Amino acid sequence: MGDAVRFDKLEQIGKVKRVTTVFIPGKTNGQVWYITFKAKADAGNLNVNEKKLLLVGHFEDPDLILWWNENSASATTSDKVDTLFLEAHGSTGITQAQAVYGMADVQLNLGDDYDVFVERFVDVYIQANPNRKRNDKISSFINVLYPELREELEIEQIYTDWDQLKRRVGYLYAKQQKKARARIAGVQQRDERDELAELRKRLNQ
């Protein structure tokens, strides 16, 4: 393909398709791969939308494409595209074995940001299981939920679709967070009433 591919319009990118190899999560060294991609993309004088279109053309993994679709809108400049990819997939030292051990540290807690948790889970899971199929991560995902959430989920049905599971867990998680906040508020109100009663008692002595 040469050292650089120069194009300015989106339809031309569709013809070029790729300027380097396909990026494979868990197998390809993300940092090294992106250096090659970025050099050729920069040589093409692309705007941010053209660069994003070219980048996603190098993805074939369904989970990687899903991750991109869910996160790429936040990358509004060329530098932000670089940062988005490298922060998620630019690790140079992690091995599959390290990622497997790293799965033990991926746990959802009641106070966590659910979307951030899902993104981290998918990233670590892809690195630990490079040859998995799309729905293979369902059981692993359920296992990293905290007990109350896992129990509520398991009494409903057996999930075989990743997207359906992710949405349902997000709904149940938000509901449990709301209940937890309500309980905290109730405890605080009781504490305040007890404190007020104690002050009144002291004033009346």
3-state class of 146 per DSSP?
coil
Place of tokens 């951030």: 116
Rounded to the nearest 5 percent, the helix, strand and coil shares of the chain are 70, 0, 30
Statement to judge: residues 154 and 196 lie in one domain: yes
Statement to judge: residues 117 and 184 lie in one domain: yes
Distance CA 198, CA 202 (A): 6
Q: With beta carbons less than 8 A apart as the criterion, state whether 84 and 24 touch.
A: no
3-class secondary structure per residue, 130-142: CCCCHHHHHHHHH
Statement to judge: residues 156 and 59 lie in one domain: no
Give the range of the structural domain holding residue 114, as residue numbers without chain letter: 93-204
| Any domain includes 2 | no
Dump pLDDT digits (tens) for 124-167. 787 776 656 666 788 888 888 888 888 888 888 788 888 899 99
pLDDT, position 200: 58
3-state class of 157 per DSSP?
coil
Has this prediction a pTM greater than 0.85? no
| Any domain includes 1 | no
Q: Which of 58, 90, 122 is the last residue of a domain?
A: 90
| Any domain includes 85 | yes
pLDDT, position 100: 56
pLDDT, position 77: 92
pLDDT, position 169: 93
CB under 8 Å to 180, separation ≥6 — which residues?
110
Residue type, 125: Y
Q: Which of 90, 120, 147 is the last residue of a domain?
A: 90
DSSP string, 9-37: SHHHHHHH--SSPPB-TTTS-HHHHHHHH
Q: Which residues of the chain have pLDDT under 50?
A: 1-7, 92-93, 203, 205
Residue 83, H or E segment: helix 78-89
pLDDT, position 2: 38
- Write out the two tokens for 111: 């106070």
